[in-house]
Amino acid sequence: MSDGLMTRVNELLSHYPADKKKSAMLPVLHAVQDAHDNWLSLGLMDKVAEILEVKPIEVYEVVTFYTMFNQKPIAKYMFEFCRTSCCALRGGEDLMEYTCQKLGVKQGETTADGMFSVVGVECLGACGFGPMLQLGDNYHENLTKEKIDTLIEDCKQGKVNLH
Ligand code: FES
């Protein structure tokens, strides 16, 4: 891990008691993932365990539980469609399928150029604005096929800010 990242990690740890480093696991994992092309290798997870003074399995448990942590390289643009009931009732699954067909991938797959992937995730807490998806740190709500078309085109043209 770079010196800059370690500085960031130490700053995060400073918010917690020295004997409760484990409490910083989520922010530390986010910082480490952000600094490594948005995914966490086994080596990085082990390093986080070392820093937090926990067993590696405790880090694996967290990383494998939350969909915001990626265990393998992902596409530049990962469309995370909510597939829970409110969004599903408003056509979320159909829109996810539409997006898959448009990009020529199945759920969980990445396009050959590494630009796009489509995944289904559980409720993202924007139930009143479904169907919705998360792209980077941003939500795209009240989706339609037209909005999906525009979003994909904007991504291709580099107009979409992920943070
Ligand atoms: S059901 Fe889709 S955001 Fe909650």
Give residue limits of the domains in the chain: 3-65, 77-156
Q: Do domains 3-65 and 77-156 have the same CATH topology?
A: no
Mean pLDDT score across all residues of the chain: 95
Q: What is the CATH number of domain 3-65?
A: 1.10.10
Superfamily of structural domain 77-156: Glutaredoxin (3.40.30.10)
Q: How many CB atoms lie within 10 A of CB 43?
A: 9
Query: Which has more confidence, 72 or 152?
Result: 152
User: Ligand 1: which residues within 6 Å by Cβ?
Assistant: 82, 84-87, 123-127, 130, 132
On whether the CB atoms of residues 48 and 25 are closer than 8 A, the answer is yes
Cβ atoms of 143 and 99 closer than 8 Å: no
Interatomic CA distance for residues 135 and 68, integer angstroms = 11
State the distance from the centre of ligand 1 to the C-alpha of 88, rounded, in angstroms.
Answer: 8
Q: What pLDDT score does 161 carry?
A: 87
Would you say residue 162 has pLDDT above 90? no
Q: Hey, what's the torsion of the CAs at 56, 58, 64, 65, to 10 degrees? A: -170
pTM for the complete prediction? 0.78
Distance 43 CA to ligand 1 centre (A): 33
Q: Which of 79, 84, 139 most suits a substitution to test ligand 1, by most atoms within 8 Å of the C-beta?
A: 84
Provide the pLDDT for residue 65: 93
